[in-house]
C-alpha cells in the first residue's frame, strides 16, 4: 500500500517558534509511519524554509525547500545549486502556532497550492486569531464574552476611568505573550507598551472571576468530538502558558486537572458551549476553546486556538487522551477527514 505523503510544517517566525518545534517532535514520535510518509519542513526564526529528516536538533541544516503555490507542483520545490526537485504532497499538517501560522497566512499559501491541509481555513483562522472579532461573532451566537474595548495604535487611554482589575493584551497573539493584569491606573502605560510589542491593536478586557477551563474539539465527518474538559488550577497570578523556562517540568504557577474537577452538568455545558463557539467561528478540523466557568455556572469565552500546541505537556492532546484518543489516532482522524474533503 502506498503511504500518504504528508508535509509537516513547523517552526515559523512568531514568538511561538520554540513551542512549534516541540509540537512537531511530538507529532514525529506519534505519527504512524506505516501509513504516512512524513516530510518535515521547518521554518527558521529568520524565515528560511528547510526540508529535514526530522524536527530534532540540527533540522535548520536541512535542504532549502519551498511550498510551491503552483497547483501543478502540488507540493514542495527542493532547491539545489543547479536544479530543483519537485516533491508531491497529498496533504499538509501545519504545526505552526501564532502569527503567520494561525492567522490565515499559511492557509492562504496552501489554498493557492491546492494541497489539502488539516485545520481551519483562511477566514476562520483570521477570525479566531483576532480576539476582538472572535468576541463580536461569538456574542452574535449568544455566547458570553468579557467586556472589552479596542485600543488603536496611537489612541490615548484615560486609565482613571476604567474599573480594575483588567487585562491588557495584544488582539492577535497567543500563549499569553504580551498579556498583563492591571490593578491600577498607574500600571496601564507599561501594560500598553508591553502589548504593543506584539500587536498594534490592543484589547483592554474585564477580568472575569471564575475557573479557567478548556475543551479540545475535533471535527469528524458525522459531527464533532469533544475531548475531556480540563481546569487550570492557579497557585497565584494568572495563567501564562509557554512562558516558563522548562515547561516540560511543569508550570511555575499552574497545574492542569484532566478531567476537570467540576460538576457533571458544568462539564457538559462547557463541552456544548465549546462546540457552539467552534461552529459559530467557522472552525474546521481542530481547535482548543478556552473559557471561564463562573461561580454561578455561566461559561464565558476566553479565546480559541486553531492550531493548539501538540507538545508532551500541551492541553489539546491531554484532553483528547483523557477521552480515549491518543495523539496517533487524533492525527489519523484529522488527516483522514481532510483527505475526504469534509473538514468540519
* Residues that are catalytic: 19, 22, 97, 242, 248, 288, 309, 313
Beta-strand pair 286-293/211-220: antiparallel
Q: Which residues contact 92 (CB under 8 A, 6 or more apart)?
A: 6, 7, 8, 9, 67, 110, 115, 116, 117, 118
SS3 272: helix
d(CA 268, CA 213): 12
Phi/psi at 243 (5° precision): -95, -10
Cell digits of residue 108: 492562504
Beta-strand pair 4-11/91-94: parallel
DSSP 23-60: HHHHHHHHS-TTTEEEEEEEE-TTS-EEEES-SSTTGG
Contact 232, 239 (CB under 8 A): yes
Nearest in space to 172 (alpha carbons), one of 325, 15, 332, 288: 15
Helix boundaries (H) for 223-326: 264-280, 315-322
d(CA 218, CA 343): 10
How distant, in Å, are the alpha carbons of 46, 108, 117, 164 from that of 105? Answer: 16, 5, 13, 36
Phi/psi at 38 (5° precision): -80, 140
Q: What b/e readout covers 308-343, taking b as 16+ CB neighbours within 10 angstroms?
A: bbbbebbbbbbbbbbbebebeebbbbbbebbeeeeb
Amino acid at each position: 500500500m502506498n503511504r500518504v505523503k504528508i508535509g509537516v510544517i513547523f517552526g515559523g517566525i512568531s514568538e511561538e517558534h520554540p513551542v512549534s518545534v516541540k509540537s512537531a517532535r511530538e507529532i514525529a514520535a506519534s505519527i504512524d509511519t506505516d501509513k504516512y510518509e512524513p516530510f518535515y519542513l521547518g521554518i527558521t526564526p529568520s524565515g528560511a524554509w528547510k526540508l529535514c529528516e526530522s524536527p530534532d536538533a540540527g533540522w535548520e541544516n536541512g535542504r532549502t525547500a519551498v511550498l510551491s503555490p503552483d497547483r501543478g507542483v502540488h507540493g514542495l520545490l527542493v532547491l539545489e545549486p543547479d536544479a530543483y526537485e519537485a516533491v508531491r504532497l497529498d496533504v499538509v499538517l501545519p504545526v505552526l502556532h501564532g502569527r503567520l501560522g494561525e492567522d490565515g497566512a499559511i492557509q492562504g499559501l496552501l489554498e493557492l497550492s491546492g494541497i489539502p491541509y488539516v485545520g481551519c481555513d483562511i477566514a476562520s483562522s483570521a477570525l479566531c486569531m483576532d480576539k476582538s472579532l472572535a468576541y463580536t461573532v461569538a456574542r452574535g451566537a449568544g455566547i458570553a464574552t468579557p467586556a472589552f474595548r479596542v485600543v488603536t495604535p496611537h489612541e490615548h487611554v484615560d486609565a482613571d476611568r476604567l474599573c480594575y482589575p483588567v487585562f491588557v493584551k495584544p488582539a492577535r497573539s497567543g500563549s499569553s505573550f504580551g498579556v498583563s493584569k492591571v490593578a491600577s491606573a498607574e500600571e496601564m502605560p507599561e501594560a500598553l507598551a508591553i502589548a504593543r510589542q506584539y500587536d498594534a491593536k490592543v484589547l483592554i478586557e474585564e477580568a472575569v472571576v471564575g475557573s479557567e477551563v478548556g475543551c479540545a474539539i475535533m471535527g469528524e465527518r458525522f459531527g464533532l468530538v469533544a475531548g475531556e474538559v480540563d481546569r487550570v488550577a492557579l497557585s497565584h497570578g494568572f495563567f501564562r502558558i509557554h512562558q516558563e523556562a522548562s515547561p516540560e517540568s511543569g508550570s511555575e504557577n499552574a497545574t492542569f486537572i484532566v478531567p476537570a474537577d467540576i460538576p457533571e452538568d458544568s462539564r457538559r455545558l462547557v463541552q456544548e458551549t465549546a462546540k457552539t463557539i467552534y461552529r459559530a467561528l467557522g472552525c474546521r478540523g481542530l481547535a482548543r476553546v478556552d473559557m471561564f466557568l463562573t461561580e454561578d455556572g455561566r461559561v464565558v469565552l476566553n479565546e480559541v486556538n486553531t492550531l493548539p500546541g501538540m507538545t508532551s505537556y500541551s492541553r489539546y492532546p491531554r484532553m483528547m487522551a483523557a477521552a480515549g484518543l491518543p495523539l496517533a489516532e487524533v492525527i489519523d482522524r484529522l488527516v483522514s477527514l481532510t483527505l475526504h474533503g469534509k473538514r468540519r
